[in-house]
Structure 1
Amino acid sequence: MSIEVEAFPRDGMTVVVVRGEIDGSSAPSLQEKILPLLQDGSALVLDLGTVSYMSSAGLRMLLLLYRQAAAHNGRVALAGLAESIRDTMEVTGFLKFFTVANSVEEALTTLRQG
């Protein structure tokens, strides 16, 4: 399945809307589109509200984004995670790496305060 990505600036941060399923075939292209958005000190909100499935390849891609952001004093927030994806990330310990919010608005507010 193809993945759709739309990025736009908002409140001095970048919001990246991701649509589709994140799996072994879509994770590399998603990573390719998101990594250049991580600049020094940047804050990124990944809107995953319409992502219904994420494989281990998607989790690896998120971990790489986290490491890249941390190396450049940046921050990444995840917004709108489906319950099944949130559960998987909680069990595997991935949630501790990210700011997690129910909505893009909540993520922007949290990053602004942090």
Structure 2
Amino acid sequence: MFVGYICYACTGGVLVWCMFHCWGGPAMKFTVDHDDNVVIFTLKEQRLDSSTAPEIKAELLIVCQPTISALVVDLSRVDYADSSGLSALLLAYRQLRDHNIPIALVGVRETIRNLFRISQMEWLFGFYPTVEVAMQELQAQSSS
């Protein structure tokens, strides 16, 4: 999908520099898939914190383009999050809010959901049990 260091996979065909997808880094902490214009961002780590947030923020800056119709973030493997991790998701929200592009968070554990409540960020995102349910809901919203 990519030529040299230019990644087409994570941007839906937009020509950009992507050191994470193209070089892979020491260990991929996430995957990025596309279903039509929906980006599905799956974290493979158990922690969403200061150790993972910089790489995740960099990738979210790449995929959060006005050409997508929605961002689905699968957090079902995440057991722990802190303010650095939440700031990565807030960055995605800020990138997409002016274009009215929804962000669906999937598989969020109750302890992490409480962080969203405490930080008053819960209303920024849609919360869904699975990627499939999120995709169905996003499709229903876009057709209404």
TM-score (norm 2): 0.72
Residue 98 of structure 1: aligned partner: 125
Residue 48 of structure 1: aligned partner: 75
Q: Does residue 76 in structure 1 map to residue 103 in structure 2?
A: yes
Q: Structure 1: which amino acid aligns with 2:30?
A: V
> 1:19 pairs with 34, 44, 53, which one?
44
Partners of 1:111 and 1:93 in 2: CA distance: 23
Q: CA deviation at 1:73?
A: 3.3
The list of structure 1 runs, each at least 4 consecutive aligned residues, that deviate by more than 4 angstroms after superposition, is none
Over the residues paired in the alignment, what is the CA RMSD in angstroms? Answer: 1.6
Q: CA deviation at 1:41?
A: 4.6
* Structure 2 unpaired stretches of 5+: 1-26
Q: Does residue 64 in structure 1 map to residue 91 in structure 2?
A: yes
> 2:58 pairs with 28, 32, 42, which one?
32
Q: Structure 1: which amino acid aligns with 2:121?
A: F
More strand by share: 1
Partners of 1:87 and 1:72 in 2: CA distance: 27
Distance 1:78 1:12, change over 3 A: same
Residue 112 of structure 1: aligned partner: 139
| SS at structure 1 position matched to 2:79 | strand
More helix by share: 1
TM-score (norm 1): 0.89
Q: Which has the larger radius of gyration?
A: 2
Q: Structure 2: which amino acid aligns with 1:104?
A: V
Conserved? CA contact 1:78–1:98, under 8 Å? yes
Conserved? CA contact 2:37–2:67, under 8 Å? no
Q: Structure 1: which amino acid aligns with 2:82?
A: S
Query: Relative contact order (alpha carbons < 8 A, sep ≥ 6): 1 or 2 greater?
Result: 1
65-74 vs 99-108, which moves further? 65-74
Conserved? CA contact 2:65–2:95, under 8 Å? no
Distance 1:91 1:108, change over 3 A: same
Conserved? CA contact 2:29–2:52, under 8 Å? no
Identity among equivalent positions (%) equals: 32
